[in-house]
Amino acid sequence: MDDPDTLVIDTRNSYETAIGTFEGAIDPSTESFRDFPQWAESTLRPLIEQQGSKRIAMFCTGGIRCEKASSYLQQQGFGEVHHLRGGILKYLEQVPEAESRWQGSALFLINGWR
């Protein structure tokens, strides 16, 4: 997340991103995952062309949406695309709070998915 050549994208919906996200992440402000392809073409592609970013890193709650989004972007020729395996849930389990880049509440994640 510290690499200036990497765009970090939150693939979750607006409700989820309002509760918390990773420091410096791009919020596509989508209402549904169905909105992601349109956002990728209308906003992400021009942003990459403008900034010359080489890599994309995506995350979501449990890892499924960001894996699908990664696959979609790769199929569309976006280049080097990665996702957070296991999503935010796995990250919060493995990374000590003092080292975490998460900003916001993690409570909805735990209560909603366990």
Structure confidence by residue, pLDDT tens digits, 11-48: 999 989 999 999 999 999 999 999 999 999 999 999 99
* 63 band by pLDDT with thresholds 50, 70 and 90: very high
What is the arithmetic mean of pLDDT over 57-75?
A: 96
Which residues are tagged catalytic?
60
Confidence (pTM):
0.88
For 8, 50, 58, the CA distances from 21, given in Å and listed in that order, are 11, 24, 11
Specify if 13 maps to a domain: yes
For 35, 45, 71, 103, the CA distances from 42, given in Å and listed in that order, are 11, 7, 18, 27
Q: Can you tell me whether residue 9 is helix, strand or coil?
A: strand
pLDDT at residue 74, as a whole number: 97
Residue 11 belongs to a domain with what CATH number?
3.40.250.10
pLDDT at residue 110, as a whole number: 52
* 108 band by pLDDT with thresholds 50, 70 and 90: low
Range(s) of the domain holding residue 83: 6-113
Specify if 1 maps to a domain: no
